[in-house]
Structure 1
């Protein structure tokens, strides 16, 4: 009979243990898999944040009857409701994940864990930047709680620590992986509650550059998981594995003839391909890396307004670029495509091996250059093609129209190459591409076009780099210039998901940016919004956005517009610009002597109320208007006409003028009228005085 009380005690303890949750020394809780999705403007939602986590909460609280401290432990449920905000865009610096759950079979009260991830300004690594927890002191879970049913929140102690620190970028994305237990402590300032802890037993997280497949990229293991295994007790040193060298990007020279045998495209370029694919064996996402061979076969076709060059190599691999003229004054790259085959040597363990894939990028709108000139950018540039291909492009020079002779015409340099100026300057008499020897060329017909391969030259100097040969030629350095006094006015459009224009904008913008030189002194960098900036955005019934990206994606400005029906009561609503965000890069060419060259900067102002007009009209302001974004960034806007709502047939509605224009138009005529009136009165008075003085009889005094 003595065993019965023992059994009753054990049952009682087990029941309490089941109610409260896991104890601190329990085995690891189950792993939950959570995904945050982002819905693009077009298409289905795509994953943008992945988290696998096994975690235990240890929550301290104050008991009512004796003010002693109690501790309750419970796991993070795998059924937690997930939400958050993140993006695939490269200008996003934060990702957020929120987990909400209830305990004890639906006990009332909200429990939650919020995690914020941040990456540095040059997007080379990420880490956990903020964590908060929330819980309710429900009596069933917190017996004898002093503040029963009160909701408590706490913030993680992050000072001096970098949780989940991981190296990751757009071309080599990684996830963070750790199987060693790590703890995050939370301060609970309210209710004088004791410290609470989140004990993480396993975590794998990827808050940026999530593959479209929804699978983790290659993990970067936490230092705690990396252990050194003792070697055998022998004196023979163990061989050190040779690191895989980074491939050198060879630069090739390519030319294309038209149907008459005349050169119509000249191209010099070095390209590295990084192609994302799924490793079916290890269930992770990898990158296949290869370069564009210098002996690639050239094909394509040219006419007066469109030129396409296709570079083919191996079997099934190719790179195609399409250029078009714009208004018979300039040309630009409008589209590109990349074809590849999942061969075992480049794509080991790939799902669907041997499959041919083609990725297409349309509406690129890059490299705008005056007709008769060539575009030159020796700096390294990055481009996305479709959802799986990223390109690293170096030493690019291209001329798709008005090719004269066998050399490039004068060049316009990209912003990254310019040492002192913000505008593209011509370099005259440059001879950067050798003459093409058509008599020894290999001809590869595609349609009616013929291709010219293997150009020969004697004027260039060849510098060997590994097994690659790069050709260099002398160039003249452009003279520094200042930005034009009047920034060019651009016309920009945003289309909805049906292809209809839903936002129109005409504007001239000049940016004034304060920056620090190496001498610790502040200086001002000025640059204009090019009229060729690439416009993107979205439209809805009460929110619209316009993003203008320029200088090869290194700069952007985003305007946010809202409607407010309360402005005029029951009458028509009005819109205004409520926010502005500026992303820029401190290029030495635009910020001479900067102490932080190539640093990415991000500023915003979400408290604006500008550019207001009735929602069925457009806003117009020809006068100069200053927009303060931050203490370091201001924008001078002029020649502005905006319509973010109610666009019909792709045209502006009637305009509502700004007060600056209205005041100016009324004041000037009034002032001129007053001046003219005063002059008339003065002349008239003078005339009367003179006339009367002549008509008055003269009096003489006789002096004896």
Structure 2
């Protein structure tokens, strides 16, 4: 048994991200037995769960018995699906990494974690039972044909769950069934000793934003159509706000699931997730969550990770499209808000890759009614003046009659 002092030392090391379990290697192979995705890392899981007496914390490590779940893992198919690595352990625990790529880079687009609240070893006296799941976008990305390498502790926040990966080596789209000797290092490891950090540049003034068209397609066809202008308002401290336009050169991707549609827009320094959900009766869709993961190159803080999971914006009937020409300001958190201009969006049910019947926003309706109301008031005023003039003319004419 370890002495009390050594227990505290181990706890402090774990909290500092300096101590972790042994890294394990996970490999996904195609039907020919050729490796297409490889990952080596250790992982710890910090969760907050509810009991009858309030919230409790649970921390546990990825066990050495963890293994690739072959039935849920895939090398992907050209233009049809992307690589998936699913790691299974314990009683119903799953850690899934979904990969995507563009011409120059690949990344872990989303990380999913399923955990079992019925497991009393980790969740003693939990109020809820059964399997629960959380997910998040990540900042794990590397150049094509290079290995992603991160010696530092890398944290992925998923609501009430935080996953910490340590000593991570990851590569998808393998070309020779093994890790590449060339590496893309994570930002947490910092610049190499020979690298001279660039001097800070003044915040750039954004150009006028333009309308960009997006679409997300899954196995059953298109699940999202959108045409809109997006502008991010980011506070790198509590006083300086930057307006950053989403560019048509940014990479757009996404995923289709039965109750969640995700549009992801990735630039050189940011990953923006727009998650659309449905109401309980599946009759309405709306923007339910916005999540931003951004590297701030010339700010006091190096990164910003923020999200809001309880939004209800851009709402319309499933099968119809939401349309609004008026600028909409979506408050996400105190550090981040989103401006949406000239938007038309439709999620979940999209027929023939075309927008359905239009449901206009209330702001556009007010804009249409206002000129009508002003015009009606002016017409009434002119009519009143005309009537007054005619009455006055008649009385004047009557005054000159002789009897």
TM-score range normalised by the length of the shorter chain? 0.5 to 0.7
Q: Does 1:561 align with 2:276?
A: yes
Counterpart check, 1:627 vs 2:330: yes
Bigger Cα Rg: 1
Query: Structure 1 pair 652/99, CA: closer, same or farther in 2 (3 Å)?
Result: closer
Contact kept in structure 2, 1:561 and 1:579, CA below 8 Å: yes
1:80-229 matched pairs, under 5 angstroms:
80-81=90-91, 83-85=93-95, 87=97, 110-112=119-121, 133-135=122-124, 151=125, 171-174=148-151, 206=166, 208-211=168-171
Given that 2:36 and 2:177 are in contact with CA atoms closer than 8 Å, whether structure 1 keeps it comes out as: no
Q: 2:149 touches 2:169 (CA, 8 Å); kept in 1?
A: no
Which residue of 197, 206, 210 corresponds with 1:483? 206
Corresponding residue to 1:496 among 218, 221, 239:
218
Whether 1:651 aligns to 2:354 is yes
Matched, 1:528 2:245: yes
Larger relative CO (CA 8 A, sep 6+): 1 or 2? 2
Q: Is there any run of 5+ residues in structure 2 with no aligned partner, and where? A: 4-20, 29-34, 45-62, 66-88, 100-106, 128-141, 154-164, 187-197
> Structure 1 residue 620: deviation in Å?
0.9
Secondary structure at the aligned position of 1:667 is classed as: helix
Match of 1:239 in 2: none
Query: 1:676 Cα shift?
Result: 1.7
Q: 1:37 to 1:508 in 2, by over 3 A?
A: farther
**Cα distance in 1 between the residues matched to 2:323 and 2:279:** 19
The aligned counterpart of 1:105 is none
3-state SS of paired residue (2:379): helix
For residues 613 and 417 of structure 1, do their structure 2 counterparts lie closer, same or farther at Cα, with a shift above 3 Å needed? Answer: farther
In structure 2, what is the equivalent of residue 158 of structure 1?
A: none
Greater fraction of residues in helix: 2
* Matched position secondary structure for 1:288: coil
Aligned to 2:258: 541
Q: Distance in 2 between matches of 1:491 and 1:152?
A: 45
Contact 2:41 / 2:169 at 8 angstroms: preserved in 1? no
**Alpha-carbon contact 1:490-1:532 (below 8 Å) kept:** no
1:507 aligns with 2:228: yes
Q: What's the offset of the Cα at 1:557?
A: 1.6
Label 1:50 to 1:82 Cα distance change in 2 as closer, same or farther (>3 A): farther
- Counterpart in 1 of 2:321? 618
Residue 288, structure 1, aligned to residue 208, structure 2 = no
Q: 1:35 to 1:629 in 2, by over 3 A?
A: farther
Deviation at 1:626, TM superposition (A): 0.7
TM-aligned CA deviation for residue 208 of structure 1: 4.5
TM-score of the aligned structures, taking structure 1 as reference length: 0.35
Q: Scaled by the length of structure 2, what TM-score is found?
A: 0.58
1:612 offset after TM fit, Å? Answer: 1.3
Partner of 2:81: none
Structure 1, residues 585-613: CA drift from partner, whole Å, max 9, x if none?
Answer: 3233xxxxx323xx221111100111111
Give, in angstroms, the shift of residue 560 of structure 1: 0.7
Root-mean-square deviation over aligned CA pairs: 4.7
| Secondary structure of 2:305's aligned partner | strand
Q: Secondary structure at the match of 1:651?
A: coil
Size of the aligned set, in residue pairs, is 292
- 1:595 match: 300
Q: Deviations over 1:327-349 (max 9, x none)?
A: xxxxxxxxxxxxxxxxxxxxxxx
Secondary structure of 2:209's match? coil
Structure 1 regions of 5+ residues with no counterpart? 1-22, 26-30, 39-43, 54-75, 101-108, 113-132, 136-150, 154-168, 177-204, 214-273, 279-284, 291-380, 384-415, 423-481, 568-572, 589-593, 699-704
How far 1:690 sits from its partner (Å)? 4.4
1:639 aligns with 2:316: no
Q: Distance in 1 between matches of 2:25 and 2:185?
A: 28
Aligned positions of 1:198-597 closer than 5 A? 206=166, 208-211=168-171, 278=178, 287-289=180-182, 419-420=201-202, 422=204, 482-484=205-207, 486-497=208-219, 500-516=221-237, 522-550=239-267, 552=268, 554-566=269-281, 573-588=283-298, 594-596=299-301
**How much has 1:564 moved relative to structure 2?**
2.3
Give every structure 1 segment of 4 or more consecutive aligned residues whose post-TM-superposition deviation is greater than 4 Å. Answer: 31-38, 44-53, 76-79, 88-100, 205-209, 274-278
2: CA distance, partners of 1:52 / 1:632: 29
Q: 2:389 aligns with which of 659, 679, 686?
A: 686
Q: Note the 1:662-681 alignment, pairs <5 A.
A: 662-681=365-384
